[in-house]
Structure formats: C-alpha cells, structure tokens
Amino acid sequence: MTRDPDARARFAATLDELHGLRLNYDDPEIARLHAAYVAELYAALKQIAPRVKVKREASFDEYPSLEASELHRRLEKRGPAGAALGDLILSKYKPLMHERADALYREVTRLKKLLDELAPLAEVRRGDEWYYLDSRRAGDYRSQGYSALHYAKGSVQLVADVARAEGFVDDVDLVVLTVDDVVLAAVRVADAVDAEILRRCPPPPLREQVRRSWARGVNPRVFNPFLPHGYEEQVGIDYFGRDLQAHLVR
C-alpha cells in the first residue's frame, strides 16, 4: 500500500486527541452534572429530615456514584415521599449524564476508527528504543492446561507478525515475565506513535493466520472459535502449517 506522507502526522494528532478525552466522572461536564445532582439530593434530604447527617466518606471521591447511592438510600428510609423525591431528581439528571456519556463514547469510536484507517497509510520510523506492542497472560488460555503459556506466545506472535510484515523482522522481541506468566511483545522503533501505528495495522489474511498458528503448534480455533470445520482443507493447508497449494504448484 502506498504511504501518505501526511498520514503519520495526522495519526499522531488523532492519537493525542483520543488520549486527551476524559470519560465518565473525569469529564468536566459529567462531573458538573453529578455535583449538581448530589447537591439536590442533599437539599432534598435536609428538607425531609433536617436532623439527619450524612458522613462524607473518602471513597466518595474515588467512586462518586457511591455518594448518590447513599443519599438515595437515606431518602428511601424516609418513606414513599422521600423515595419519590429521589426518583424525581434522578429523572432530571440521568438523561443529561447519559447523553453526555454517549457523545463521548461516539467520539472515542470515531477517533479509533480514524486511527485504524490512517495506520496502513502512515510511515513507521525506525529507531533504537524498544516500545510495548502487545501482551497476553497465560491465564487467558488456562483451558489449554499446561500449554497455556504456549498459547499466549502463539497469540502474541500473530500481533508481532504485523510488525514483521511491515519490515521490522529483526526489531521484534518476545519476553516472558515469569512472575505472572505474561508474554510481552516489544518493537524497536522511533517512538510510541510508531508502535501504535503497527498495533493498528491490519493483521495478515485469515488463511495466513491459521497456517502460522498450526506451524507454531497452536490450534487457531482457540483464538478464533468460530473458524468453520474443514477450513484448512478448503484453503489448502495442513495441520502442521504447510502450504499444500504451494506444494501442488511446484
């Protein structure tokens, strides 16, 4: 595919924009709406039960929804009138916060789609530093028993294949962190943007993924359980990863 000289700069700018987004309660608008929501709940509780005091827990700062839940619980203890008042306040703010959250996630989806479109067009620069590419835990494949770590390696290898296909054959390394049985792939490029470009480049065709998996001694159906029975025979590969079509051509 032809490289676009401007694609890398656009990719980097889009990545910065994505990283700059704040979601959930970290978003200033959602935080503002939630603060107003909680303030009205406090006011309602004070109106119904002036003597009731709510001790503000430290966990409320880390998990803002806990504070609202506690205030709703206090209002419900005041009887049907308190519960109804809490529900009325919730019905006022819930649609506003959901609308804002939906808008943010739509923007995240848009930016990620744009990154995926730009990645195959962007130039990946070579460098001397190693950057994180991908990782898998052996625990993700515990259904494979003692072969779980082997399958974690096989899964990461498919990601590393993308970098190799882009010409970084000798610049990809796999490391096994024995403490947690994590297999980590790193790539030697100019900076983190280049690693992200490789991470978002399209994978090899399905046939090649299946062939390489069998060649590495892993069953591709562990990674792709919807792979149809008899697929290998249909596309001309065997269960050792050999290309039968190439053999027939010779």
Q: Are residues 160 and 210 in the same domain?
A: yes
Q: How many residues would you count in the chain?
A: 250
For residues 38-57, give the mean pLDDT: 88
* Domain end (from 98, 119, 140): 119
Domain coverage including residue 227: 129-249
124 inside domain: no
Q: Residue holding tokens 């595919």?
A: 1
The b-or-e profile of 74-111 (16+ CB within 10 A means b, else e) is bbeebeeebeebbeebeeebeeebeebbeebeeeeeeb
Number of domains in the chain: 2
Q: Are residues 109 and 35 in the same domain?
A: yes
Average pLDDT over all residues of the chain: 93
For residues 107-133, give the mean pLDDT: 96
- Please tell me whether residue 56 adopts helix, strand or coil conformation: coil
Q: Are residues 139 and 226 in the same domain?
A: yes
* Domain end (from 93, 119, 145): 119
pLDDT at 249: 47
The answer on pLDDT for 247 being more than 70 is no
144 against 56, higher pLDDT: 144
Q: Are residues 134 and 99 in the same domain?
A: no
Q: Are residues 113 and 135 in the same domain?
A: no
For residues 76-100, give the mean pLDDT: 95
CA–CA separation, 149 and 147 (whole Å): 6
Spatial CA neighbour of 14 closest among 159, 121, 140, 103: 121
The answer on pLDDT for 103 being more than 60 is yes
Q: What percent of the chain has pLDDT over 90?
A: 87
194 inside domain: yes
Q: Are residues 143 and 233 in the same domain?
A: yes
Q: Are residues 133 and 245 in the same domain?
A: yes
CA–CA separation, 223 and 236 (whole Å): 20
* Domain end (from 97, 119, 141): 119
Q: Are residues 105 and 173 in the same domain?
A: no
pLDDT tier, 215 (very low <50, low <70, confident <90, very high otherwise): very high
Q: Are residues 139 and 101 in the same domain?
A: no
Q: Are residues 113 and 137 in the same domain?
A: no
Q: Are residues 21 and 110 in the same domain?
A: yes
Q: Are residues 143 and 211 in the same domain?
A: yes
DSSP 167: T
pLDDT tier, 58 (very low <50, low <70, confident <90, very high otherwise): confident
